[in-house]
Structures are given as structure tokens and as C-alpha cells.
Copies of this chain bind each other. A is one copy, B any other.
Amino acid sequence: MVTTPPDRPHDEDYLRLDLQLCFSLHAASRAFNGVYRTLLKDLGLTYPQYLVMLTLWEHGELPVKSIGEKLRLDSGTLSPLLKRLESAGFVERHRSKADERSVSIRLTEQGTALREHALTVPHHIARAVNLPPEDFHTLRTLLATLTEGLDAAQGPMATGTDEAACAEG
């Protein structure tokens, strides 16, 4: 009763294809996360915390909202994460004088210093990834296209402002 004669490309084949892409993306994301977890353990950072630190190292002091826009994370994720970064001693939080709704995130000395240790991370990752630069670029472009399409399909873009990362040169 399970076997269906698929003379035409039946819906069930789409389920199979769906599983393949879902799974690939899901697995790649988790594999990535796993490698970073190992590498970042010494730094005392998780993978999302590392993304936040990378953003701060690149842009300097930022309000929570800007970090959220750049990384597409909302306050429900960022608030506790930043609190943990604060208790780890890597960042400071203080209310903006100009707009007391806003909370600005600033690197501490320790947070700034951590960057030196983080510099070795990309080397390890690059070796682990082991993709030719050209594939690397293709992958990143495809992922960006995919995300764009999915975001558009998901809902009419709430924010379109500054539009952070992924402006590769």
C-alpha cells in the first residue's frame, strides 16, 4: 500500500526533495555551529555571542537595535545574550542620554582584548571548510539570495534600513 506508481513527478517526490534541502541546510548550520562551539570554547563564547562580538569589533559601540538589525535578531534573543556577555565582562550596557529607550553596547577592555585571541578562529574554520575560494563565494551568494527570497516570502520586510552584513568586496 505504500508503493505508488509515479508516472508523473508526484507530490511525494517533492517531499523527498524538500527533505534533502531542509536537511542539508539544517545539518550544515549545526555542523558549523559545532565546529565554532569547539573553537570558541577557549574564548568563553558561544557561536551567537561570537557573531555579536564580531559585529562590535567591526563597528564599535552600537545600540541593541542596530545589533539586532545587522544580525537579524530580536530583543528576545539579544537581551539575555547581552546580559551574559556583560556578566562575562566583555561588554558594558548603558542607557543613551539622548534617547533613554535605547541601550548602547560598548566593548570593555577585556572584550576588546578578546579580539586578539579570536583572530586565530577564521584560520581554523577556513581549514575545516576546505572549500575553494570560488565555491566559498558561490555558497555565500546563494545563501544570501535564498535568505532574501525567504524573507520576502515570509513577510513584507519590516526593516529595510541600514542593511548590514554581506556586502562583500
8 Å CB contact of A14 from B72, B126, B129, B143: B126
Distance between Cα atoms of A127 and B19 in the complex (Å):
16
A113 close to B (CB within 8 Å)? no
Chain A interface category by residue count: 35 or more
B131–A146 touching, CB < 8 Å:
yes
B18–A122 touching, CB < 8 Å:
yes
A151's nearest neighbour on chain B, judged by CB, is B31
Contact flags A114-148 to B (C-beta < 8 A → 1, else 0) = 01011111111111111100011011101111110
8 Å CB contact of A122 from B17, B29, B31, B54: B17
A21–B150 touching, CB < 8 Å:
no
8 Å CB contact of A154 from B38, B60, B150: B38
Q: Which of A24-40 contact B (CB under 8 A)?
A: 24-32, 34-36, 38-39
A29-B29 CB under 8 A given contacts A118-B15, A129-B149, A139-B146: yes
Chain B residues with CB under 8 A of A142 = 131, 135, 138-139, 142
A150–B128 touching, CB < 8 Å:
yes
Since A2-B117, A21-B140 are in contact, a sample of 4 more A-B pairs with Cβ atoms closer than 8 Å, ordered by chain A residue number, is A22-B50, A26-B47, A127-B153, A138-B142
Chain A residues packing against B (C-beta within 8 Å): 2, 8, 11-12, 14-32, 34-36, 38-39, 42, 47-48, 50-51, 54-55, 57-58, 60, 71-72, 115, 117-131, 135-136, 138-140, 142-147, 149-154, 157, 159, 161, 163, 165-166, 168
3 closest A-B pairs by beta carbon, nearest first, are A128-B153, A14-B122, A29-B29
